[in-house]
Amino acid sequence: MSYPLEGLKVLDFSRVLAGPFAGRMLCDLGADVVKIEPPDGDLTRFWGREIANIPGYFHQQNAGKRNICIDLQAEGALDLANQLVASTDILIENYRPDVMPRLGLGYDKLKEINPRLIMLSITGFGHKGPESHRAAFAPIIHAEAGLLHRNAKRTQLPYHDLPTSIADTNASLHGLVGLLSAVIMREKTGLGQHIDIAMIDATVATDDQLQYNLEDAEDTGPLPNSIWETGFGPVLISNDFRLLFRNLTSILGMPDPSNSDMDLPEKIRVRREAAVAFIKTFDSRDKFEAAMNQINAAWGEVRDPATMADQTTIAARGAIIEVDDRAGGTRPITQSPYRFSDAESGVRGLVAHRGEHNHEVLSEWLGISQADTDKMLAAGVMHFDPDWKHH
């Protein structure tokens, strides 16, 4: 077994991001992840550049998973879903709390079918509580968890959402920790369990800045990092300006333009102006890096994400790779971040068309024949992408 999770079976009923990302990581770690997609498809099949009828966002979150398409409201679909549940280790879903029970797939019923089942449910506001009914995508949680307010206050800019779905991926990764913890616990007890992850809980738990707000202590934290223009582009220097200025003058030889007759605001103003002009004189990355090493300051280029594959460490570690695009070429995808000394992880296969593995999965997991799969297709229990010919 070269992959840590080889042998684990996962049913991924989730869509968009919080659930699919957890499923993608499980797949990268070796689990057999089967995405259960509804006939109208995952919403992310409409997002991103489309190649071979597979858009980029869906491609990013579902690489390596097999795919079967079930209409859970069709007659006979619940029986098929229950058979799959009886054969799986893990089930992931991120619907509102009432949806899976309404479909007959609530945890209380599923654990009777499979007492070893570990079920992960990711919702915006949790399964128990006054707001459990609320729908939520990441921006809703960014707003409710205070991230947008803090960002606006610190930047002095109008309220605006974050440029990444941190509430989704945070909840996904906390869900992944919960799943793997439950797998370890099942080895001791023989029983599975239901894991209730609320996106708002996960965001608050992972917000290292929240303690300043809860204790009205914003003024006790470090000064904010500054972004500076150099001769080769913008950089962020992670250094209190007071320390940075002292090092620029005492080690790198920058003149101090202030004098004892200036009041503090004037002194700060002229020192910042001098630092801006001095840092602009660095016309190459190598010269700037040597200077920052000399004063022991951490820094980073303000990089255009379109160039991320060229970032030195990203390129060296293969954090973005090229995979078969199913159209005779390749397309980029982020690689698994896990690096083991004695195990493998990483993207393990192509991205599936909707219903591409209907027969393959039912045959392997349940011993169902091609003829019986075809009957379910004819009855509308199962579907496949009509643009994909080999269902």
By annotation, the residues acting in catalysis are 168
What are the structure tokens assigned to 149, written together?
């307010």
Contact (Cβ atoms closer than 8 angstroms) between residue 239 and residue 298 = yes
Handedness of CA 147, 153, 154, 159 (dihedral sign): positive
**222 DSSP 8-state letter:** P
* DSSP states along 89-148: SEEEE-S-TTHHHHTT--HHHHHHH-TT-EEEEEESS-SSSTTTT----HHHHHHHTTHH
Separation CA 171–CA 180 (nearest Å) = 14
Handedness of CA 354, 359, 363, 367 (dihedral sign): positive
DSSP 265: H
The token pair at 124 is 């915006």
